[in-house]
């Protein structure tokens, strides 16, 4: 009967799927996941948005504009695509209203250049504005964001560094991020294998005690260059294993062209954009060098900048153009020098711009078309140069505080915008900002607050991911901020945020086996336990000997005290009568003179030895006249 019931149960159970009766885990929607990473409105660097959509779920600005257009009563045909056409961008007025009231015309935006552009997150919100004004501001922000496709709605932070993050590199596929910091370490992040904890999978220390200044990926993304404050750059593979280190030159050789490498700390380095075996580095010794990755012992070319007078002036930064046919270097005297790589070229620059900046140049960046060169400096300015006419800059953007020598410039994927970071000043309340500039109009488009207390140093806009990376930090903390939009960005941060950390189970426990090999060599032998060490020490008569107590009063043999059993030699001499304890009561002079007669009559040691060679002692008679008288 039991067998029949078992067969009936198996037959009925076979009609149902294997998952029948099992409770499936509730999966969190992507919308709820991205809401957790949405940029906070209460951030003092953010502008408060409109309060009309508080009852709606948190969406990106483009989705908010579309939903608002659906709720508009006077809009019979809402356009589901809020992105305006180029004609609407130029005119600023359209026949069909899309969403909230239109933004101010382009003339007002152009006039806002004097006010450092439109703020997307100023420290002080606008005072006295009504609901219509806030609607127009949010509409202008959304229109601006949709026009340039700036992903700003969500944000994650890749933490791990304890000081400011001064170097950043994202590979061309957008799967791995490498960051370097003033804490002398390099951290590697992998979006494909990283979960929502956002932890790095490897940490390196390229050069002990030296800051990490630049990191650059190779064109094939299989290796990356790490430049630190030391004179030797290092090459690592994709997994963080060291492949080689360039040689250091002889510091006692005067001519830099005769040295095999840099002799002072490096300032910048960049991989060739097309050739996977060529690297460019700049140093504080006043030279730029081109290296071959296959030969770490010497460089291919040494470039000495043109100087007003002989000497060594550091080269603060360097850069390749897109095709790798030109090299730009920022010199410590404030000049920009450009060399064209052609047959027979030397150290004489083809373009030399004197006094381009009043302070050290921190970054140079070529445009893809090779027409524009951007320069960033510690004097708080960003300059736009036309490579066809380099006498005067096309535009100068001031009031951009810069306190770090690694602050760089980056282009958007379509190069309509270029962006840079700002540093935090002592009495400033704006915090670290990410400033966006329009390349065609040469005006400030927007400012995005990244951190209220930390400076923004490095920035990058990845073309495949459509995500913005910005490194920030100060003396106590550092991190890489990743800005993205779920409707505009792809992969990258979206993948790792949606991947929840796996819960640990019993199967994850792995007991490490202990292999005991008592007959191994001392080098490979396991250290004995502490208990055995103590037992062995107790059996050792020397180690287990109780220390002798200190003595009081005079002593013998370098020891203080007169105890009877202090030393074996002392005890034997006392027993033999050779040591008498009455020496403190006697006069030293009398104790010595009482042996004078015995020594003169019966000499034992010294006098018999010199009896034949020196019968009359030298000091037997005195030559003093006083004694003769």
What is 414-431 written as a DSSP string? TSSEEEEE-PPPTT-SS-
pLDDT, averaged across the chain: 78
For residue 141, the model assigns a pLDDT of 53
For residue 579, the model assigns a pLDDT of 63
Which of 102-111, 239-248, 474-483, 504-513 shows the lowest mean pLDDT across its residues?
Answer: 102-111
For residue 30, the model assigns a pLDDT of 78
pLDDT in tens, 97-142: 434 455 444 444 444 444 444 444 434 444 444 434 445 555 555 5
pLDDT at 626 exceeding the cut of 60: no
- Taking residues 456-478, report their average pLDDT: 92
Q: Which residue has the higher pLDDT, 39 or 227?
A: 227
pLDDT at 348 exceeding the cut of 80: yes
**103-136 b/e (C-beta count within 10 Å ≥ 16 → b):** beeeeebeebbeebbbbbbbbeeeeeeeeeebbb
Sign of CA dihedral 535, 536, 541, 544: negative
pLDDT at 474 exceeding the cut of 70: yes
pLDDT at 628 exceeding the cut of 50: yes
pLDDT at 146 exceeding the cut of 60: no
For residue 142, the model assigns a pLDDT of 54
483: confidence class by pLDDT, cuts 50, 70, 90: very high
For residue 8, the model assigns a pLDDT of 73
pLDDT at 58 exceeding the cut of 50: no
**Distance separating alpha carbons of residues 409 and 376, to the nearest angstrom:** 7
Q: Which residue has the higher pLDDT, 246 or 309?
A: 246
**Distance separating alpha carbons of residues 612 and 457, to the nearest angstrom:** 95
For residue 225, the model assigns a pLDDT of 95
For residue 623, the model assigns a pLDDT of 61
**Distance separating alpha carbons of residues 353 and 338, to the nearest angstrom:** 9
Helix, strand or coil, per DSSP, at residue 588:
helix
Q: Give all domains of the chain, ordered by start, each with its CATH number.
A: 30-85+96-145 (no CATH), 149-501 (2.130.10.10)
What pairs with residue 38 in β-bridges? 154
For residue 234, the model assigns a pLDDT of 95
User: Has this prediction a pTM greater than 0.75?
Assistant: no
Question: HEC string of 76-108?
Answer: CCCCCCCCCCHHHHHHCCCCCCCCCCCCCCHHH
**Distance separating alpha carbons of residues 207 and 231, to the nearest angstrom:** 10
For residue 122, the model assigns a pLDDT of 39
Tokens of 158: 């890749």
pLDDT at 223 exceeding the cut of 90: yes
- Taking residues 574-585, report their average pLDDT: 66
């Amino acid at each position: 009967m039991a067998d029949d019931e078992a067969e009936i149960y198996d037959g009925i159970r076979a009609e149902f799927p294997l998952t029948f009766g099992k409770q499936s885990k509730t999966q969190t929607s992507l919308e709820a996941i991205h809401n957790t990473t949405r940029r906070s409105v209460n951030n003092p660097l953010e502008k408060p948005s409109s309060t009309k959509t508080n009852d709606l779920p948190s969406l990106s600005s483009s989705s908010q504009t579309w939903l608002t257009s659906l709720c508009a009563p006077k809009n019979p045909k809402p356009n589901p695509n809020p992105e305006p056409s180029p004609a609407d961008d130029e005119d600023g007025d359209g026949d069909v209203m899309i969403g909230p009231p239109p933004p101010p015309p382009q003339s007002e935006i152009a006039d806002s250049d004097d006010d450092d552009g439109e703020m997307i997150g100023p420290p002080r919100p606008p005072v006295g504005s009504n609901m219509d004004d806030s609607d127009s501001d949010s509409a202008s922000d959304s229109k601006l964001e949709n026009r340039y496709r700036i992903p700003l709605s969500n944000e994650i932070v890749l933490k791990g560094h304890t000081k400011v993050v001064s170097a950043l590199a994202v590979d061309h596929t957008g799967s791995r991020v490498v960051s370097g910091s003033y804490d002398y370490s390099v951290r590697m992040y992998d979006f494909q294998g990283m979960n929502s904890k956002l932890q790095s999978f490897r940490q390196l220390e390229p050069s002990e005690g030296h800051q990490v200044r630049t990191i650059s990926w190779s064109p094939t993304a299989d290796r990356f260059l790490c430049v630190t404050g030391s004179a030797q750059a290092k090459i690592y593979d994709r997994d963080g294993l060291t492949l080689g280190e360039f040689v250091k030159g002889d510091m006692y050789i005067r001519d830099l062209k005769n040295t095999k490498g840099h002799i002072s700390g490096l300032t910048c380095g960049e991989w060739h954009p097309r050739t996977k075996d060529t690297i460019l580095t700049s140093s504080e010794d006043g030279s730029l060098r081109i290296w071959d990755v296959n030969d770490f012992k010497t460089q291919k070319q040494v470039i000495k900048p043109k100087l007003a007078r002989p000497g060594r002036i550091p080269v603060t930064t360097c850069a390749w153009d897109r095709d790798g046919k030109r090299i730009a270097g920022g010199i410590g005297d404030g000049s920009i020098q450009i060399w064209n790589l052609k047959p027979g070229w030397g150290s004489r620059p083809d373009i030399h711009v004197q006094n381009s900046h009043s302070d050290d140049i921190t970054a140079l960046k070529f445009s893809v078309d090779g027409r524009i060169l951007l320069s960033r400096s510690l004097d708080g300015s960003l300059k736009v140069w036309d490579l066809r006419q380099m006498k005067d800059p096309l535009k100068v953007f001031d009031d951009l505080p810069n306190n770090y020598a690694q602050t760089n410039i980056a282009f958007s994927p379509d190069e309509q915008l270029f962006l840079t970071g700002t540093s935090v000043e002592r009495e400033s309340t704006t915090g670290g900002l990410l400033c966006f500039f329009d390349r065609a109009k040469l005006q400030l488009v927007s400012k995005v607050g990244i951190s209220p207390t930390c400076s923004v140093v490095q920035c990058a806009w990845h073309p495949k991911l459509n995500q913005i990376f910005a490194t920030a930090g100060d003396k106590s903390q550092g991190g890489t901020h990743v800005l993205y939009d779920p409707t505009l960005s792809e992969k990258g941060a979206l993948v790792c945020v949606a991947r929840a950390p796996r819960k640990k189970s019993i199967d994850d426990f792995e007991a490490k086996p202990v292999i005991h090999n008592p007959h191994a060599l001392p080098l490979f032998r396991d250290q004995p336990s502490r208990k055995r060490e103590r037992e062995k020490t107790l059996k050792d008569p020397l180690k287990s000997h109780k220390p002798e107590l200190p003595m009081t009063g005079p002593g013998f043999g370098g020891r203080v005290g007169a105890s009877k059993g202090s030393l074996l030699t002392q005890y034997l001499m006392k027993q033999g009568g050779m040591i008498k304890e009455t020496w403190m009561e006697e006069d030293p002079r009398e104790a010595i003179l009482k042996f004078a007669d015995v020594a003169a009559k019966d000499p034992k040691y010294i006098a018999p030895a010199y009896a034949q060679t020196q019968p009359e002692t030298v000091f037997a008679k005195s030559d003093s006249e006083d004694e003769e008288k």
